[in-house]
Amino acid sequence: MSDTSLVKISDKNLRKTFLKTFGWNESFEACWASLESADLLPGRVVGQEKTHYRVQLSLDLILPGTLFGKDRQTPEAVGSLASPLIPAVGDWVSVQPDPHEMKCKIQSVLSRSNVVQRTRPGRDERVQVMAANVDSVFIVTSANEDFEILRLERFVNAAKESGAKPVLVISKWDLVADEEPFLLALHKTFPNIETHFISQKSPQSLEWLNTHFGEGRTTLLVGSSGVGKSSLVNFLVGQEIQKTQETSNDSKGRHTTTSRDLVRTRFDGLVIDTPGMRDILSNEMENETVDFSDIENLILSCKFSDCGHLTEPGCAIQRDLKSGDLPRARWQAYREFLQPAAKSKNPRRRV
Ligand SMILES: Nc1nc2c(ncn2[C@@H]2O[C@H](COP(=O)(O)OP(=O)(O)OP(=O)(O)O)[C@@H](O)[C@H]2O)c(=O)[nH]1
Ligand SMILES: [Mg+2]
Ligand SMILES: [Zn+2]
């Protein structure tokens, strides 16, 4: 870490500006006050890809963050709501910066104001936190075959359950020949949900975004792959920071975005881009290549940090495989994911 970065993150005024800009509020402040925080700094998790985190520590400093040190401790939860042990994007965390290695260690997760989560249907009903401390959720769907009212309803309900405000964003409006069926269906099912029709080709259709974002407000984008979430993020930031890509026509689909990223918009406020997700009720076939957080979280509770998950005592994977809580197929998929070169009769599907 350069000396200037160190000065910046320890400067009180700069810290204040950073915190305000990134959505810090009184309840985080209260939570922070309860911490023994002499050598810790508050940061917001702005990136998550599997167990790799990126933590924003000042307006212009983001450090890679690890969950635990050699002692493999999971971070401590502070406060009550959800008492998270595993941070998600959007979480406020306390970190110990490591100036030599240019990284930081996540020590604790501050009490969340809310979480948006998805459910894996099945007998164990696993839930997976998509993002924490979210004010609104843009449910993005393109005005083509992706448009499906029942699915949108599930997203709207998940947003409502989280306490965040759902906003329907119907994208690629430039491709629509007949607007009527979309308008009718939306009006019938979601008369009270804020709805916007956007096209990246029409600046007018994007004007409402000027007023949506206020300082520190966090908006999460969800929706299928290829509906234009990252294109929207690029517009909001005013720069091509996220890769976007034409979706393939071979019905296999593919994810252009593979991580969850929180960035600051040029309208103030923050936006979280996510990998495409067709449904909030995930079925096992979807997103397997990009999201194994259920397994990674499980591995954290194996007794030994170098557990091979075969015959070691205290292995959480073996335990859950035995009980059936972890389906064998999913474990297999995870192992194939780690060794993509391994030949498999059933190549992993990319959705
Ligand atoms: N015609 C039209 N195309 C658009 C619009 N917005 C985005 N696209 C195109 O749609 C394709 C997919 O856009 P992305 O922004 O990568 O989609 P995404 O939702 O981020 O996809 P994932 O990262 O895979 O989840 C790109 O080729 C974009 O240029 C729009 O308003 N109109
Ligand atoms: Mg994307
Ligand atoms: Zn194990």
Distance 314 CA to ligand 2 centre (A): 39
Is 348 part of any domain? no
Do 323 and 229 lie in one domain? The reply is no
- Could you tell me whether strands 218-222 and 136-142 are parallel, antiparallel, or unpaired per DSSP bridges? parallel
Separation of 51 CA from ligand 3 center, angstroms?
A: 16
Residues 25 and 38 in one domain: yes
Please answer whether residues 297 and 86 qualify as being in contact, where contact means their C-beta atoms are separated by less than 8 angstroms: yes
Total number of domains constituting the chain: 3
Range(s) of the domain holding residue 225? 115-273
Ligand 1 atom nearest the C-alpha of 234 is: 15
Whichever domain contains 307, its CATH number is 1.10.40.50
Task: Note the ligand closest to the C-alpha atom of 140.
Answer: 1
Is residue 286 in a domain?
no
Closest by Cα among 105, 129, 103, 123 to 296: 129
Residue at a domain's end among 87, 110, 133? 110
Instruction: Give every CB contact of residue 325 below 8 A, 6+ residues apart in sequence.
Output: 124
Coil/strand/helix, residue 31? helix
C-alpha distance from residue 111 to each of 14, 135, 254 (Å): 23, 15, 35
The ligand with the least distance to the CA atom of 278 is 1
> Residue of the nearest CA to atom 15 in ligand 1?
228
What sign does the dihedral 195-166-154-147 (CA atoms) show? positive
Residue 139 forms part of a structural domain: yes
Q: What is the DSSP code string of 95-158?
A: EEEETTTTEEEEEEEEPPS-EEEEE--STT--EEEEEES-SEEEEEEESSTT--HHHHHHHHHH
Q: What is the pLDDT of residue 4?
A: 63
- Both 264 and 123 in one domain: the answer is yes
CA of 230 to the centre of ligand 1 (A): 7
Residues 70, 133, single domain; the answer is no
DSSP 38: T
208, 318: one domain:
no
Ligand 1 atom 7 nearest Cα: 228
Is there a single domain that holds both residue 121 and residue 261? yes
Do 240 and 131 share a structural domain? yes
Pocket test residue of 142, 220, 222, 231 for ligand 1, highest count of atoms within 8 A of CB: 231
Q: What is the pLDDT along the chain (351 residues), one digit of tens a residue?
A: 555 666 666 788 888 999 999 999 999 999 898 887 778 899 999 998 766 789 999 998 999 998 754 344 455 555 434 435 678 899 999 998 887 788 898 888 888 899 898 776 555 555 678 899 999 999 999 999 899 999 999 999 999 999 999 999 999 999 999 999 999 999 999 999 999 999 999 999 999 999 999 999 999 999 998 999 999 999 999 988 888 887 654 444 567 887 889 999 999 999 999 888 887 775 543 433 446 777 877 888 888 878 889 999 999 999 999 998 888 877 877 776 665 443 333 333 332
125 and 37 in a common domain: no
Does 21 share its domain with 106? yes
pLDDT at 151 (0 to 100): 92
> Would 176 be classed as within a structural domain?
yes
235-274 burial: b if 16+ Cβ within 10 Å, else e: bbbeeeebebeebeeeeebbbbbbbbbbbbbebebbbbbb
Q: Among 230, 245, 273, which residue terminates a domain? A: 273
The angle at the Cα of 239, spanning 234 to 242, to the nearest 5 degrees, equals: 50
Structure tokens at 244: 């976007």
Q: pLDDT at position 259, please? A: 82
Q: Is 285 inside any structural domain? A: no
Same domain, 203 and 171: yes
Q: Looking at the structure, tell me whether residues 90 and 233 fall in a common domain.
A: no
Residue 284 inside a domain? The answer is no
Which of 45, 75, 110 is the endpoint of a domain? 110
pTM: 0.79
CATH number of the domain where residue 10 is located: 2.40.50.140
In a domain, 278, yes or no: no
Tell me, what CATH number does 164's domain have? 3.40.50.300
Per-residue pLDDT at 102: 87
Evaluate whether residue 347 is within a structural domain. no
Are both 128 and 245 inside the same structural domain? yes
- Collapse the DSSP code of 273 into the 3-class scheme (helix H, G, I; strand E, B; otherwise coil) and give the result: strand
- The atom of ligand 1 lying closest to the CA of 258 is 23
Please state, as a whole number, how many other Cβ atoms lie within 10 Å of the Cβ of residue 143: 22
Please list every protein residue whose CB sits less than 6 Å from any atom of ligand 1: 171-172, 174-175, 199-201, 225-231, 244-247, 255-257, 275-276
CA-closest residue to ligand 1 atom 1: 172
Ligand at shortest distance from the CA of 317:
3
